[in-house]
Homo-oligomer: A and B are copies of this chain.
């Protein structure tokens, strides 16, 4: 570390991160934590990293960055039908980090972890030699054998999504082009909503039990609905999606009304962090009812079919479109 006034790694951990430590983490005084799933349960493991300047803006509030870093992982946990149990953190700091930034980061992380019931179990803090990078390994649990897999959809299943699609992509675009006519035409509450959806993933943990009980396959939408649906289906299955059925927020509807071409950003943009899942037609209403009881809307947007090729989107004007795979990727 540059500067003799900088605290040691142990000092930073004790001050900022030990208060976030959960059971089994031994107050972060150890190099390892113990974690045991409840009897009759499997652990579900996932890892995702975010990098300054790639997955978020370096100037974003550190509490928001922390919330995103944890949230993108909790979104994966939720999409597998799992309940969070804890996480490990790798925090790679740029040379110009400050204690104020770290303080804000730890506060945001603690709040997000507490809200999800997902305590910190351990971590490593290093210099990145470049931009900040935050990698989170998150752990959840499901009753034994009930993890909801990604590639197990069946022809005839209905395709569903939670919440609304495209808000984060529009929030990002609004941030890059704040004076675009469509953005200027939104009211302040709509602008604020879109900006927040980009900044703060809302992992759909409350929908996880319904997904686990009813879905035949699931994943979270992080790289855009069209591309993620193609990934979920893989070879031998494809889909028809009715764009009119894709749930849009009021803000997204206003934006698309002002600038119809934005529907492509809605369908292919990333950072939705909604759950995309498939369900047998006879289970659709149970899925929707149980998720709604947990406060989360589920919309049926299409159907899995046999065949190859990317999913076909029936646009509002009746035209059929496909979107190239990998239209959006952080990599």
Indicate if A257 sits at the interface (CB-CB under 8 A). no
Binding site for B on A (CB under 8 A): 1, 8-10, 26, 29-37, 41-55, 76-77, 79-80, 82, 88-90, 92, 121-131, 133, 135, 137, 139, 142, 144, 147, 149-151, 219-220, 231, 234, 325-326, 329-331
Provided the pairs A127-B54, A130-B130, A131-B129 are in contact, do residues A220 and B45 lie with their beta carbons within 8 angstroms?
Answer: no
Expressed in whole angstroms, the Cα–Cα distance for A172 and B51 within the complex equals 30
Expressed in whole angstroms, the Cα–Cα distance for A177 and B61 within the complex equals 44
- A8 interface neighbour in B1, B43, B331, Cβ under 8 Å: B331
- A32 interface neighbour in B31, B33, B44, B144, Cβ under 8 Å: B44
Contact B34 A46 (CB under 8 A): no
Closest to A220 in B: B31
For the complex formed, measure the closest distance between the CB of A211 and the CB atoms of chain B, giving whole angstroms.
13
Provided the pairs A88-B137, A220-B31 are in contact, do residues A43 and B43 lie with their beta carbons within 8 angstroms?
Answer: yes
Top 4 A-B pairs, shortest CB-CB distance: A130-B130, A137-B137, A32-B46, A9-B331
What 16 new A-B contacts, CB under 8 Å, besides A88-B137, A133-B133? A26-B150, A26-B151, A31-B76, A31-B150, A31-B220, A32-B76, A32-B80, A35-B42, A36-B37, A36-B144, A46-B88, A49-B135, A51-B127, A51-B129, A92-B133, A126-B331
